[in-house]
Amino acid sequence: MAPLDPHSFTDSTHTLTTHIALSLYFDFPSATIHGAALFTLSSPHSGPLCLDTRSLSIHRVLSPSTLSPLPYSLSPFCDPIKGTHLSLSLPNDAALSSFLITFSTSPSSSALQWLSPPQTFNKKHPFVYTQCQSIHARSVFPCQDTPAARIRYSALLNVPRELSAVMSARHVDRRLPVSGEGYSNLLPNGFNSLWCSETRVVEEFDMNQPIPPYLFAFAVGELGFREVGPRTRVYSEAADGVLEAAAKEFAGTEDMIRQGEKLFGDYEWERFDLLVLPPSFPYGGMENPRMVFLTPTVIKGDASGAQVVAHELAHSWTGNLITNKNNEHFWLNEGFTTYAERRIVEAVQGEDRAVLSIGIGWRGLNDEIKRFQDNLEFTKLKTNQEGVDPDTFYSQVPYEKGFQFLWCIERQIGRPAFDEFLKKYIATFKFKSIDTETFLDFLKANAPGIEKEIDLVLWTEGTGIPPDAYEPVSNLYTKIVSLANEFKLGRMPREDEVADWQGQEWELYLENLPKVVEASQVFALDARYRLSESNDYEVKVAFLQLAILSKCRDFYGEVEKTLKEVGRMKYLRPLYTALVQGIGKEEEKILAKRVFAEARDCYHPIAQGVVESIFAKHL
């Protein structure tokens, strides 16, 4: 076996899948999906073929033309990171270019979160959604679950008629089910007979552009939408106030798309729709093509949440069009996208906003280097991830160190030249998955002599922060950092000094304070500015983290409330870590364990795993 990806059973000598046609029956009472998947290969193949699965029941593997069974086997053990190896045996005497698999998901699927009505915005109907990055598509359907294997797909989603569905694909139709369509007559456990029930509808989708499997996405629930631009709708559950607030927050999306096109070339995905998910969504956003998923915590009421949208939009060029070959080169997705996001923000919101974002990222990068001081491998851009769970070691390093690398190149060759380089890079590698070496070869070919000016090996393979990384400079940035330094000497900022501050300014201020201060300072800061009650979770969580580390137990009620009302890992990770890390914190550890036990079922499985890994390390 010749592995293609340290997180996949895919064999590099085997033919890759190019298209998957899915028929999926959603059974909400059992929190399972019963499916049939028709796989089309890039060329006829005979002999073994390796697929990834996790928590799937495989019922049959068939030849599509004859429906005769094909031999297959599942590995007797489940790898804790990669899942279960599904090995097919395609006939040697007649190579096949397609095959059919019927399967069922499990309630423990790592990609799926099934929400009961009380866990949703509207409290009336259930909801289910996917989060397939980095390696969770395999828990929805069997596949070669590596970014190196880009696929097109079509899907028939059979759902209760009172619900609707969205996907990272073009919506074709909403209609009554048709008997036998999409091999639905082969669905297991009697669900073939339920396909055409009068209580069901079919939502049909098609994605005709090749995407990595982690960008496969759907959500099913009672959904409404608002138009916010010629290419953008904002979707959410049909609940009071959510859609209106989201539409207002993201009203400037079309302007950002146009600025992105000026910088990086045509927008290739036709639609840029947004779905605001329930609070349990584990990320700020997910860049699914045509249908970006967002946490409701980005709705802040001042349009500043649009920066998260700018990041997901930037992925439309860097990440979705050009993708890292595997997670060892994750910086190619996120470093480029962080750079592109800040260029869009600079064009739309001004240079000060972009510099604040860079400054927050700079502080975050320095914190991450300290976090990994005992495992410096994860301070590199190009990492060795054999035997490593990408969710556990997820960090800001590929984002912020990757950004700094590209910013360094821009300074060296000049912005106009770098802009032309970016457009050529995107045009050359669009709809391809590449590695760090491919990028560096392209860079050296198109910026001759760059390796003499910048140590490319140090940047991509070295640990820590290279000496030519750069802290941003602006009057506003310098003022905020100076005020944070004065807090260390006991001076709190005056109200006239912060009168114009939004969440980003406060976030930068808090990030530059010492990790631990006198409890009296924490109380005084909150008494004047009520940061513990901020509607901006970036500000609120940064303040609560300071309060925990400074042992201000009066704020623990707000900590508990926050951990129970949101599932975004950006907030869970620092708060739970602050509670359990270190010695002499028995009260905090008891609180953390109790809160997690009570909130666990409201977290996405990925977030559950991250909190459990924090506990395993510190408890």
Cα within 13 Å of Cα(510), Cβ side: 24
Which one from 203, 237, 312, 341 is the annotated catalytic residue? 312
Q: Is 568 annotated as a binding residue?
A: yes
Q: Is 287 annotated as a binding residue?
A: yes
Residue 187's CB: how many other CB atoms inside 10 A?
A: 24
Q: Is 296 marked as binding a ligand?
A: no
For residue 580, report the phi and psi dihedrals to the nearest 5 degrees: -110, -15
Report CA torsion sign: 556, 560, 565, 571.
positive
Is residue 235 annotated as a catalytic residue, yes or no?
no
Is 528 annotated among the ligand-binding residues?
no
Residue type, 169: A
**Do 356 and 307 contact (CB within 8 A), yes or no?**
no
Residue 284 known to bind ligand = yes
* 222 annotated ligand-binding residue: no
Burial of 147 (0-12, 13-18, 19+ CB in 10 A): buried
Phi first, then psi, for residue 197 (nearest 5°) are -55, 145
Exposure string over 114-145, b if 16+ CB within 10 A, otherwise e:
bbeeebbbbeebbbbbbbbbbbbbbbbbbbbb
Selection from 523, 380, 534 nearest residue 459 by Cα: 380
Helices (H), 372-435: 397-413, 415-429
Return d(Cα 508, Cα 362) in angstroms, integer. Answer: 10
Residue 35, helix vs strand vs coil = strand
Helix count (H) and strand count (E) of the chain?
18, 21
Question: CA 346 to CA 327: how far, in whole Å?
Answer: 29
From the list 340, 338, 399, 388, the residue with the least C-alpha distance to 365 is: 399
Strands 322-324 and 432-434: parallel
> If we measure between CA atoms, which residue out of 445, 450, 467 comes closest to residue 458?
467
Catalytic residue flag (residue 410): no
Count CB neighbours of 236 within 10 A.
Answer: 29
Spatial distance between the Cα atoms of 192 and 381, rounded to a whole number of angstroms: 48
Tokens at 168, concatenated:
């990272």
Residues written for the chain = 619
Q: Which residues contact 496 (CB under 8 A, 6 or more apart)?
A: none
- Which pair of tokens denotes residue 66? 């004859």
569 is known to lie in a ligand binding site: yes
* Distant-in-sequence, close-in-space partners of 520: CB < 8 Å, separation ≥ 6: none
Residue 204, H or E segment: strand 200-211
**Catalytic pick among 183, 235, 399, 556:** 399
604 is in an annotated binding site: no
Pick out the residues of the known binding site for Zn(2+). Answer: 311, 315, 334
Q: Which residues are annotated as a binding site for a peptide?
A: 131-133, 282-287, 568-570
Residues involved in catalysis:
312, 399
**Which residues make up each annotated binding site?**
131-133, 282-287, 311, 315, 334, 568-570
